[in-house]
Amino acid sequence: MSAENRSPEEVEETPRRPTGVRDEDTDLDSDLETEGSHGCGHLVRDPLHPGSRKAPHIIPTSCFRHQGSGPELTLRHRGLGPQGAQALASILASSPHIKKLDLRDNDLCAAGVAVLEGALRKGSCICDVDLSENQLGAEGVRVLCSVLAACPAMRKVVLAGNRLEEQAALHLAELLLLQPSLQSLDLSYNTLSDEAGKTLGPALAENTGLCELNMSWNCLRGPGAVAFAKGLEANIFLKVLDVSYNGFGDSGASAVGEALRVNNVLEELNMSNNRISAVGALNLGLGLRVNQTLRLLLVARNPIGRHGCCGILKSVRDNPASALQLLDLSDNQVDKEFDDLANTVKGIRPGLYIKTGARRVEYKKELLSDVRGPLASACD
Q: What is the share, in percent, of the chain residues with pLDDT greater than 90? A: 67
Fold of the CATH domain 61-379: 3.80.10
pLDDT value at position 59? 56
Q: What is the pLDDT of residue 63?
A: 61
How many Å apart are CA 210 and CA 235, to the nearest integer?
Answer: 9
Tens-digit pLDDT profile for residues 56-81: 344 545 565 556 567 899 999 999 99
- Band (pLDDT 50/70/90 cuts) for residue 254 is very high
Least confident stretch, 175-179, 290-294, 360-364, 373-377: 360-364
Q: What's residue 38's pLDDT?
A: 30
Query: Which pLDDT band holds residue 261 (cuts at 50, 70, 90)?
Result: very high
pLDDT in tens, 234-248: 999 999 999 999 999
Residue 269 pLDDT greater than 80, yes or no: yes
pTM: 0.79
Residues of the chain above pLDDT 70, percent: 75
Weakest-pLDDT range from 17-21, 99-103, 252-256, 325-329 = 17-21
